[in-house]
Structure 1
């Protein structure tokens, strides 16, 4: 039974210092969803017996069938710290009481669904990075961690599947410690590589409580802080000193009753403190249970002051092991404690995130409202994705309130990605019909939502394609567009089996495009409808959704085709020449790579085709050493009119057609270059 009410959650929303918005991110199959089950069981959303097997945040049927997360799923939880003394360990930020609101988003791990991770990270401030004990840091672990750091998201780490190391590999305590050490070092290498200096030190340290170890499948986990509290109470020592001693090269010499950082004493090997005080009781439980030593299990339960229900004591093997470890080290307690103590509140996070979130000046009313997480400021809300509703063809706009308060019936400015302040392009002014709280596969109605919280909106889906900014301030700029780490490069054409179903296909393609942040739909020159995805699995899922849900008609799909593009590695060694059919005009062209700094500025939107051409030319001349005349004669940005490729006219004659470079596959690069064209002195005809 759920042990909190929506009213209690709404009350906590008014305490932004007690809110934690966080994503669960990892490589595929590292155990995000099973670990999340423990938190849901703690909140009473699922039964404890089902935790680890239910994968409750995998709400789609195909997610359960395939055993992978496809869509990111948000759910709000009510968490409580055991005592007010624990609040002292929250470093660098304030809190109001021991009750906390955890807005959790379980995200996919497969590389094809990276766009879902990006959408989740935009609306959160912290990340729970899950790493498999056996596999360690993998490619996608690094990718999602890099995405998080780019968005200025603070990470904490869970080393998952520790049970596999003990049961399958049967490693020694020292080997397991060394495995943990290597994994943490690998995570910290990634963090230090992509770290934003404005955030300070974001590396994770077990002795500071920012790393947890456990098993999501079996429902247990621990941090060094938890054991330090136990031993500090038992031995009457300071728990912070105990935390430092329980990791690294620290040893307790039983003969001298003193701590030392030397591994030997009088020629005898000392046992590492982490192995002796933390791993030893865990190893003893595993050994006693898996070797069916009932008496030894009973003795351990007495020593550890654990009480098991009579029916659970009768279990054997892994089932008994799961019951004992869940009672000894409940995963939810460790994870909640780590998230509350070490992840930032919206009040803290928005102070340093505002400059990477907001396109406008840092001192305008909107920026100040975001920086202060002000519920009374102008509304600034970012919609990061669309979530299909049970009403076919309609969507919830899923996003985060950064400033102000959003409520049912409020009239807002809906600013799409192409909106320019002072203009009416990509702008709608409409009322929000309803605000809802996203609870996994369900939604709960809620009257309003103040700054710092995650929200679902009803009634604006027809005015936004995928993402955008909602505001009540006429002078507000957009919140920055998300950057995806993958591109839709795999395409398949789609056609209907029955010609009369074509209108349904067209409508279905529109819905599909809205439902997925990364998918692209288009019509090619031959009139075929084309769907592009990040990979074959992504495309397969999208086409299944298109046929079964969005269009609802039988469809025929072509084989997948991967789009290849050429790029420019260096300046052309020759000048290419092309003549017009009447031989009266000659076209000369060279291509050369663009400076990396300029490409980044263009991708960040600081230089764009919408800028005044004189102002843009001055920036290119002053900052990048361009010739002013050339900078004024940029014909177009590509691809799609806004990418980091430039077509520059260096002739002193008449203009040509800006669409030419987009018509030939060699001249449609996704890499960065700027071809330059010259006209000959022949008359233009």
Structure 2
């Protein structure tokens, strides 16, 4: 096919109904880039023979070397469907041109952030699944933030001769399915590499059919879990929001009303039903493609028949072909070609499974589809038979070149046959046009969730801006709203405006004609003025101008011409990868960049104005300059450097809400420190890290208190790519890298340091100075002898620690709510404060793993009650919680049990007063009054006279809590955060004489500083009173390997201090499934070169506990 010009693509930008924005999602090595190459070949961008070999969208050198995709790349494709319609006796040709904006995304878990950015820009997705490897049932219940490393299939891997009874589904496949679901992207399933079922596993057509059926069942089972989870979250969010609104309005009076509301809510939820039939993959619906990208073929069991799809391609779907041969209606055959339907050759009827009556009939999909495909592989590749091959070619009416028929490379002949019979690009693009929505259709369902991620989706737009977004309005008067999902860097000299333009032959001829005309005009003008400026009267010798005159002439000419900027080959320019949802953006437009924290209620914060400098059509490794882009298109935009960090919203009005940020499936955990080899290049490293932070959507760059530059990456491969970019593109200097810094946690346990049956656990009490006191109790006095702290450390129950780790977001939401209400109260804006509370709680309810405060308190109480059976210490402790740490949200607790010091609990909204610690009676307290003060700074104080004359424990509250936070963020073992430690303030004693002196009040800042240091030190000492432990972050590894290398796998795990959890032989296969735990600190290089061939490895990250 001739190459498609950019002008043809640009001409389709305004027809939004004929635009498809799609991405390709899959696990690594499942065939995404090979499929992309085949689609590019249909547009003449690359040769069809190079599809799968050139990897056109892998533009980086390391991508080509490793054979994997590392960054998402976009390209625009042209697709033409030609329909014919009868008008009388004439056949009228009706072309339908489509613009396909394709984004190829990585499959490696280290680059999951690229998958997130790609799916946000698209309306549909092609989800590829390897027909052999599939989706693993053993890892269906993985957490969302999971890591998977899978080594590429080794050439010596022994094939199995039996169909696997359980099909493995890879963790990354689940991740991309979840990402598509989260972004409300409509997927099409592509079962790729079906050729491996024939050539490697040697399955028969019926075995392959059973195998593929199981893959479909498992993929649909995963999709069903997403649907069920969303249903439960939506209902819970609706109930909690209604409950919160009633509470704020004062309508909920007591527990009976709450119980009745809960009962009614559950009853309503049970009655509500939603249709979920549209979310599943079913070949009968046409949203499943069977393909082999490497061999260039694909088909669907059903599909709409078109007379022709593109020049050189003509195909009919199987349902159309066999409907004509068998005399069936095509609509009937579509429903029967896939599934448990059988064709009776005697009666020429379609039978269901119940009517077989013991007859050994094959499913229609096997008989009419798979056996034909298997016959080609059998006679061309497995057992080459020239005569049968020629018969197949003649039967299919294909035109195969003689050199291909005589080729010794069987793959060449195979590709030639399939590319004409079942061309991959045609089947895929027709499915995209049929099954995936246009921007106009997609934005009506996607935009409500993006605008209001924590609320019920809107059925109808409420404002003119929402109407323009929902309708994908590209009018000149429509507001411009675009979303930039990521920034990517390109060398300045590679930008189209800096490239030398390739002139056509006609342009070259026109340019020569203009030059000759200008030269002739100059000569004529010089001849006319020769007598005046070049000759002396009476002489025939011309007089040359002086050198000064020449220089003056040259300088004046140079000044009259604008200077031409020469692009710097070493400079990197950041381009925004964006999608336009409304309006038409043009070069020179002024837009507002709305940051992640932007709120339309405060339009002057977190926003900046930019001028659109350049617009680009994305063509893989190349860009094409555009002057305007209408709504519904994916494009590149320049001029955002310094305004957009990772992602952002562009809008022509400040009334627009900031579109929800992209959720990253793989959080960065590998941390290294960087420094330049030459200290004088520190400024280069700093600038390079700034560029890297903008160009990579996942990396995190930090400057430590010690002055070290630290980057966090998602894995080893991601780290390697970042360092390569720093050295060669951004910093351009040699860099020294520290060994990877892995997360550790410090904790305490009741067990002795040495585990032995003869060594008992540590006692709860100990003798010190002849007095029995609880274990872990430490008493310390400040250097000025003014304050004495009695602090006890206790190991938290494991279930409580785990609960706090899982609900850190809830604790943060509670603190944010309090901060919002305190800010509103200080501004004396009660009405605005109520709105702020609703907004914060609504956001908290909509966020993952965030629950309402009363529910959180109830659940935490139950966790303590379950531990109170063995230790009465935890009974009633919930109302004594002062704070959590570190960073006020961690899995450590500060408890207040100081006598004479009654303060507000973490869960109480009504503060309690106290008298001065030296004279206060424990029972005395101020009667509780309704108030909304929530911050610690607003606690009820002692009487004014005492405040003026002396010092109270209340004055030291903030210092005590600060000391606790400092102690828990850096433990005594190796300055790592603590986990699972409860600190109890048993008593705070103040020297009465010193406290009531005027001098103590004057030195309050100095006193608080000493209390902070004393609190930090007493927590460390109390920690060491127990048996300290250093908790390692662990990977849970699922390894699948053959029996002959099982011992070597155990040796590798033992070498790296791994521990085997379980092992089992997968029935029907020669593979063993091993589950093991491996410390993260020992995991680097684990998947590179140590294992023998023929294994699959997945790793799930678990926080140290």
TM-score range relative to shorter protein:
0.7 to 0.9
- Distance across 2 between alignment mates of 1:347 and 1:575: 65
Contact 1:386 1:516 in 2 (8 A): yes
Pairs within 5 Å for 1:565-584: 581-582=782-783, 584=787
Q: Any residues of structure 2 matched to 1:74-113 within 5 Å, and which? A: 74-83=74-83, 98-113=96-111
1:173 aligns with 2:182: no
**Deviations for 1:468-514, whole angstroms, at most 9, x for unmatched residues?**
11101122220111111111111111111111111000000111111
Residue in 2 aligned with 1:136?
Answer: 134
Aligned to 1:413, the other structure's residue is in SS state strand
| Matched residue SS, 2:50 | coil
**Map of 1:477 onto structure 2:** 657
Distance 1:480 1:643 in 2: 26
1:665 aligns with 2:969: yes
Q: How does 1:172-321 map to 2 (within 5 A)?
A: 172-195=204-227, 196=230, 200=276, 201-225=278-302, 226-262=317-353, 267-290=358-381, 291-316=383-408, 317-321=410-414
Seen in structure 2, the aligned counterparts of structure 1 residues 148 and 199 have a Cα distance that, compared at 3 Å, is farther
Could you tell me the TM-score, scaled by structure 2's length?
0.56
**Equivalent residue, structure 2, for 1:624:** 853
Aligned mate of 2:634, from 454, 470, 474: 454
Cα contact 1:408–1:435 (8 A) shared by 2: yes
Name which one, 1 or 2, has greater alpha-carbon Rg: 2
Task: Give 1:645 deviation, angstroms.
Answer: 11
Q: Distance in 1 between matches of 2:205 and 2:811?
A: 50
User: 1:44: Cα distance to partner?
Assistant: 1.3
1:367 equivalent among 448, 466, 473: 466
- RMSD between superposed Cα atoms in Å: 3.8
Deviation of 1:412 after TM superposition, in Å, equals 0.4
Unaligned runs of 5+ in 2: 86-93, 136-169, 232-273, 303-316, 493-570, 749-773, 825-832, 843-850, 858-877, 895-903, 907-935, 940-953, 996-1003, 1008-1105
Cα distance in structure 1, aligned partners of 2:207 and 2:776? 62
Once the two structures are superposed, the pairs formed by residues 513-662 of structure 1 within 5 Å of their partners are 513-564=693-744, 581-582=782-783, 584=787, 586=789, 593=803, 599=809, 612=823, 614-615=833-834, 624-625=853-854, 650=906, 652=939, 653-654=954-955, 656=958, 661=965
Does residue 351 (structure 1) correspond to residue 448 (structure 2)? The answer is: no
1:342 aligns with 2:431: no
**Counterparts of 1:424-443 in structure 2 under 5 Å?**
424-443=604-623
User: Partner of 2:133: helix, strand, or coil?
Assistant: coil
8 Å contact from structure 2 (residues 691, 730) kept in 1: yes
Distance 1:269 1:359, change over 3 A: closer
Contact 1:645 1:669 in 2 (8 A): no
Cα contact 2:969–2:978 (8 A) shared by 1: no
Separation (CA, whole Å) in 1 of partners of 2:813 and 2:81: 43
Q: Which runs of 5+ in 1 are unaligned?
A: 86-95
Write the distance in 1 (CA, Å) between the matches of 2:465 and 2:198: 53
Quote the residue 1:418 is aligned against: 597
Look up the match of 1:89. none
Cα distance between partner residues in 1 of 2:886 and 2:445: 32
Measure, in 2, the Cα distance between the counterparts of 1:150 and 1:527. 39
**Aligned with 1:425: secondary structure?**
coil
d(CA) in 2 for partners of 1:345 and 1:602? 40
Asked whether the equivalents of residues 817 and 837 of structure 2 are also in contact (C-alpha less than 8 Å), the reply is no
CA shift in 2, pair 1:623/1:242, >3 Å: same
Residue deviations 1:291-342 (CA, integer Å, cap 9, x gap)? 2211111111111111112222222422211221222111101110111111
The structure-2 alpha-carbon separation of the partners of 1:371 and 1:670, relative to structure 1 and needing over 3 Å to count, comes to farther
> Contact 1:602–1:644 at 8 Å: present in 2 too?
no
Q: Distance in 1 between matches of 2:978 and 2:301?
A: 47
Counterpart of 1:382 in structure 2 is 483
Shift of 1:39: 0.6
Q: Contact 1:263 / 1:269 at 8 angstroms: preserved in 2?
A: no
TM-score using structure 1 length:
0.88
Q: Which residue of 2 aligns with 1:161?
A: 193
Q: 1:12 offset after TM fit, Å?
A: 2.0
For residues 539 and 99 of structure 1, what CA distance do their matches in structure 2 show?
Answer: 43
Secondary structure of the residue aligned to 2:55 is: coil
